[in-house]
Amino acid sequence: MKKLCFVGGGMIGTALGNRLASGNGYHVKLVTIEPDVAESINQRHVNQKYFPNQKLSRDLRATTEHRSLRDADIIFLAIPSTVIVDFINKQKDNLPPGKMIINLAKGFGKEDRTITGCLEEIIPNPVCSLKGPTFARELLNNAPTAFTFASGNKSLFPQMAELFNDKRIYLDFTTDVTGTEILSILKNIYAIVLGIVDAHFNSANLRFLVLTRAFAEMRHTLQLMGGKEKTLYRYCGYGDFGLTALNDLSRNRTLGLLIGKGFFIEDISDKVVLEGKIAVNRFIKILDKLGKSEDEFPIIYELYHVFNSNYKVSNFVDKLLRKISSGIN
């Protein structure tokens, strides 16, 4: 019987952990720094903080003890991207030798590098990525869903496929771990842009005009950073981008809607981890280092100006359309 550990008792950790704990005989444990979350899961079978109205499997357990990681067959990282590298550095002695470490978070690691790239340098374990068009709430409600499993070792894929067998979770596979990680960050950026556009014009024509140019810009950035074009057509690519950019359950699309409607204030983003906003500045820094111009990446640069200047957001759509009309990217 496999022992699965999810680092993090938030939404995605709870949802995926609960799905795997239900009926397959796996030992599933959430390792959390929140004692109240652990108590509510263990005593009342509810994650009161994140899913207060949803009963969880009685087989899902939680703990605040990091030593629980030592017995795990697979460890899933479901904590904010900004803290993962530091967490793993501190917990190296608790990681079971040779066991898979799977990153669920969507964001950069240290120094503008991917989380998986950073982890591969500090631990000997196989470091993999799991990304896809999956909202935690739908996952918890047993809706069919999909992920891309990315690993440099093809032999690990059958193990993951078996893990999700009969769970209505469908996988595709790529060895392009870097590309999978990069796309999971980019999609949040362009979801903000689509939110701003839709806040100004409820127009299907305009929405898919911008969606098309955004997808082209994502392709350009992906290849520039060492990812493979075909990864765009995995679940982690167009699927996750479409889900995040076009569905109002998306936090980053919602941020775009707030900006477009004029309700956004700096205090909002300071209190909520919004991966897209954080990532914009990181990507601009990378593009500047590579000598890339605003003409080549007009969408991400325009959003950068929104976040970093005294920007009149009512002009966003017109300015954006003028910049992308040439079709350079």
What's 120-189 look like in SS3?
Answer: HHHCCCCEEEEECCCCHHHHHCCCCEEEEEECCCHHHHHHHHHHCCCCCEEEEEECCHHHHHHHHHHHHH
Q: Mean pLDDT lowest for which of 18-32, 69-83, 284-298?
A: 18-32
Q: Work out the pLDDT band at 23, boundaries 50, 70, 90.
A: confident
Q: Which distant-in-sequence residues (6+ apart) come within 8 Å of 164 by Cβ?
A: 20, 170, 171
Is pLDDT above 70 for 265?
Answer: no
Question: How many CB atoms within 10 Å of residue 298?
Answer: 22
Average pLDDT along the chain:
93
Share of the chain above pLDDT 70, in %: 95
Note the residue count of the chain: 329
Residue 71: the pLDDT is: 94
- In the block, tokens 């970093």 appear at 308
Cα–Cα distance for residue pair 57/45, rounded to 1 Å: 7
What is the residue whose two structure tokens read 């652990």?
38
Per-residue pLDDT tens over the stretch 163-192? 998 899 999 999 999 999 999 999 999 999
Per-residue pLDDT averaged across 274-296, rounded? Answer: 89
Both tokens of 160, joined, read 């993951």
Domains of the chain: 3-175 (3.40.50.720), 189-324 (1.10.1040.10)
Positions marked active-site? 187
Q: What is the pLDDT of residue 111?
A: 83
254 has pLDDT over 70? yes
Query: What pLDDT does residue 1 have?
Result: 74
pLDDT grade, residue 274 (50/70/90)?
low
**Which residues lie closer than 8 Å to 40 by C-beta, 6 or more apart?**
46, 47, 48, 49
Where residue 266 falls among pLDDT bands split at 50, 70, 90? Answer: low
pLDDT higher than 70, residue 272: no
**Residue 156 pLDDT > 70, yes or no?**
yes
Rounded (10°) angle between helices 316-324 and 204-224: 60
Q: Is 57 exposed, middle or buried (0-12, 13-18, 19+ CB in 10 A)?
A: middle
Do 248 and 184 contact (CB within 8 A), yes or no?
no
Count Cα neighbours of 178 within 13 Å in the Cβ-side half-sphere: 14
Half-sphere exposure of 211 (CA within 13 A, CB side): 17
Condensed to tens digits (0 to 9), the pLDDT of residues 292-325 reads: 999 999 999 999 999 888 899 999 999 999 999 8
pLDDT band at 263 (very low <50, low <70, confident <90, very high): confident
Alpha carbon distance 62, 181 (integer Å): 28
Q: Mean pLDDT lowest for which of 42-46, 83-87, 219-223, 308-312?
A: 308-312
Does 198 score more than 80 pLDDT? yes
Give pLDDT, residue 264. Answer: 66
Q: Work out the burial of residue 212: count CB atoms within 10 Å of its CB; fewer than 13 is exposed, 13-18 middle, 19 or more buried.
A: exposed
